Structure 1
């Protein structure tokens, strides 16, 4: 329970199976044998079961692949991924195959839009994350990875507006692609070396911007970036970025310090975080009430702080053991 009050942990464990199993894994360091049953329950009860029940006979959600937001197949599967639905779930895998069959485009990416003559990079990233998480071992999946690697910009980011002339990376697109590449490496560990350089460059892109600032003015790039949303949908925010960095166990780069301090400033005196506002759009149901203590944000906030403190300790230990000449001290 490092960094968390026992009462907060108990409160998290009293929540939906999706919250319970991730609390056991990420905050209590329990082995899979102790949280596997809770994870299996995601498909059977609570939020996960309610979403799975909304799949239509055609295998889609909301009657569409990408729209309507936020009840389409893409966005429902993204939520199920956040919940930690077991990757071998047949309903989710069916939905993923529909996204691949209907969306795979001649340039190697994903394009659901008839008016586009090119794949949409942000959507391609989100779909790759889903295909990888839900274990789609199709020959087109590595092709999507190759396509995304070819879309990386000079500054290390990605931007769905690149085909229209954009020359600077987008926070939104960059994080979506990073999350996707992380999921892909879990599916295909042999592909890690092929994507590592691109991942490192993208990390540097976000760190250069201190996760939410303009590299030109130093000001907050978008007010939404310093708010907390869940589910994030396709949108970027600083907690979504921090949660990604904890998921990949990134080093505690000092350029993330300000974002961690911002996270701490939003923590309530009782050790929790409130549920933020929701992105406008259709939903099947709301998981939590805006302005009330939120289990999702509390879980994410606590696991980020846990990772940060541990990563700081590792970083300090490494620096301490490096001599001024660059070699390791004895």
Structure 2
């Protein structure tokens, strides 16, 4: 079967993104398919698991590895591309806004006001932008993130007195949040925030200087797990997730792919399987409500979709090699 046809047999959350990112279907066709996401398939199942107090799994964030929480459920719903205006989604977000707090026993902040760690605030900022919860909480997080940017351009969730060296993991979490906030704020009619855009570009430069996975000092891979492409991403970094961010940022900025992305694209192509698919990675240890991707090592609709849209942007000649011959 043609890979695109195979992808179109997947969950509606995959299908609508294939239609938008790989097939350039008309907006109304894409919107019609996207409207199904909140009511069918994986996203609908996740929405149904929320309790009346606004929580998933009884936690705002959860212990490390456990993705049955508000934080990671909202991240999954965002990556599935659920329509934020769908009735079931608005109900869920209203519940979170009214009832969920970080560190509730200590009188913590409401969920969409964020926390203190950069990687957490990057994720919450991305969720607040996607689900339209823009306000003082989002601005608070932006301020903390801009103040916490390190001299090398990136971020680290460790306190600055403990580390002045950036982390790939933390930096990408923050970049995703800043980009999402920039896009949502502009769509809402706000003028572009020059300081935010500059901080994002500096953070992206930190990764570009290292070709998205290499040590600046030796050129060797920073961590082997950067080649483990998982969906949905957790706080951990991987090259495919990073390339997907750079694609999104390039489309926003109207810029061509930076030549320094080439080694990461080559690495992505090394993981291509016969038949033009990419395999599912080994999930980060921890509990989930249910798997959103294929079993590890099996053909992954999500990794295949994301890899193909990255190639369509960064290396279309490589994507052409994956297409079936014309009749």
Deviation string for 1:129-183 (max 9, x for gaps)? 1011100032221221121111111010011113342111110111111100111
Cα deviation, 1:282-328, whole Å, max 9, x if unaligned, reads: 1111122221111000000000000103699xxxxxxxxxxxxxxxx
* Structure-1 residue corresponding to 2:42: 47
| 1:74 corresponds to which of 71, 74, 80 | 71
Q: Following TM superposition, by how much is the alpha carbon of 1:95 offset from its aligned partner in structure 2, in angstroms?
A: 5.2
Q: Cα 1:222–1:292, aligned 2, differ >3 Å: closer, same or farther? A: same
Distance 1:18 1:109 in 2: 28
1:232 partnered with 2:238: no
Q: Provide the rounded CA distance (Å) in 2 between the counterparts of 1:260 and 1:85.
A: 28
> 1:36-72 CA deviation, whole Å, 9 max, x = no partner?
1211111101000110111012111001100141110
CA distance in 1, matches of 2:125, 2:316: 30
Deviation by residue 1:71-117 (Cα, 9 ceiling, x = unmatched): 101001100001001122214423552587547759x9733xxxxxx
Distance 2:151 2:317 in 1: 29
What are the equivalent positions in structure 2 for 1:137-176 lying under 5 Å apart? Answer: 137-176=134-173
Question: Residue 87 of structure 1 is aligned with which of 80, 84, 89?
Answer: 84
Aligned-partner SS, 1:248: helix
Distance 1:214 1:99 in 2: 43
**Other-structure match for 2:97:** 97
1:291 aligns with 2:297: yes
CA 1:248–1:310 in structure 2 vs 1: closer, same or farther (change >3 Å)? farther
Deviation at 1:251, TM superposition (A): 2.9
Is the Cα–Cα contact under 8 Å of residues 72 and 234 in structure 2 kept in the other structure? Answer: yes
Change (3 A) 1:242 1:99: farther
- Per mean C-alpha deviation after superposition, the further-off stretch among 77-86 and 244-253 is 244-253
Answer yes or no: is 1:269 the counterpart of 2:274. yes
> Which residue is equivalent to 2:124?
127
Per the alignment, residue 308 of structure 1 pairs with 314
Extract unaligned runs of 5+ from structure 2.
319-327
Runs (5+) with no aligned partner, structure 1: 1-5, 112-118, 313-330
The whole-number CA distance in structure 2 between the counterparts of 1:110 and 1:52 is 21
Q: TM-score, normalised by structure 1?
A: 0.85
Query: Which residue does 1:26 correspond to in 2?
Result: 21
1:258 — aligned with what? 263
C-alpha distance in structure 2 between counterparts of 1:73 and 1:100, whole Å: 8
